[in-house]
């Protein structure tokens, strides 16, 4: 949620904002299930069901955007509006991001974004950056 917090003030006041840290992100632990977009989607559906929310808008950032696309494409969802940032619905074979991100390791990420990794390690109750 930290990456997303800077846009919250731009969202109209008549929207109720519910922020979800996906498994292993922010202050959410990874748990014992394999990480996948399908699992993230299932987690979000569980939150929506728990809160008895049947109709909603989505604003997803990065992995949250991919999960938002999946939710919007789901026959069982009632997404009124969808906004994503830093996310793609699918990658074409020749998409330049495949080459750019395909070989990035956790060590590379730590080298490029040490403050982000340090923040994750400090704020997550059970950090495991290698699994992300």
Q: Count of domains in the chain? A: 1
Residue whose tokens read 């569980």: 46
pLDDT digits (tens, 9 = 90+) for 11-69: 888 989 998 999 998 889 998 999 999 999 999 999 999 999 989 999 998 899 999 99
Domain containing residue 27: CATH number: 3.40.50.1820
Q: How many CB atoms lie within 10 A of CB 127?
A: 16
Range of 9's domain?
5-131
Task: Evaluate if residue 1 carries a pLDDT over 70.
Answer: no
> Which letter does DSSP use for residue 33 in this model?
S
Residue 62: exposure state from Cβ atoms within 10 A (0-12, 13-18, ≥19) = middle
Close Cβ partners of 53 (under 8 Å, ≥ 6 residues apart):
18
pLDDT at 3: 67
pLDDT at 49: 94
**28/98 Cα distance (integer angstroms):** 27
- Predicted TM-score (pTM) of this structure: 0.82
């Amino acid at each position: 949620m930290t990456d997303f917090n800077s846009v919250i003030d731009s969202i109209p006041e008549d929207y109720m904002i519910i922020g979800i840290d996906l498994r292993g992100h922010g202050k959410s632990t990874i748990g014992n299930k394999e990480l996948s977009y399908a699992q993230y989607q299932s987690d979000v559906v569980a939150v929506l069901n728990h809160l008895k929310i049947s109709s909603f808008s989505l604003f997803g950032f990065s992995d949250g955007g991919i999960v938002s696309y999946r939710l919007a494409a789901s026959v069982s969802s009632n997404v009124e509006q969808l906004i994503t940032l830093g996310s793609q619905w699918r990658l074409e074979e020749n998409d330049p991001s495949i080459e750019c991100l395909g070989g990035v390791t956790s060590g590379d990420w730590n080298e490029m974004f040490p403050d982000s990794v340090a923040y994750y390690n400090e704020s997550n109750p059970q950090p495991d950056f290698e699994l992300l």
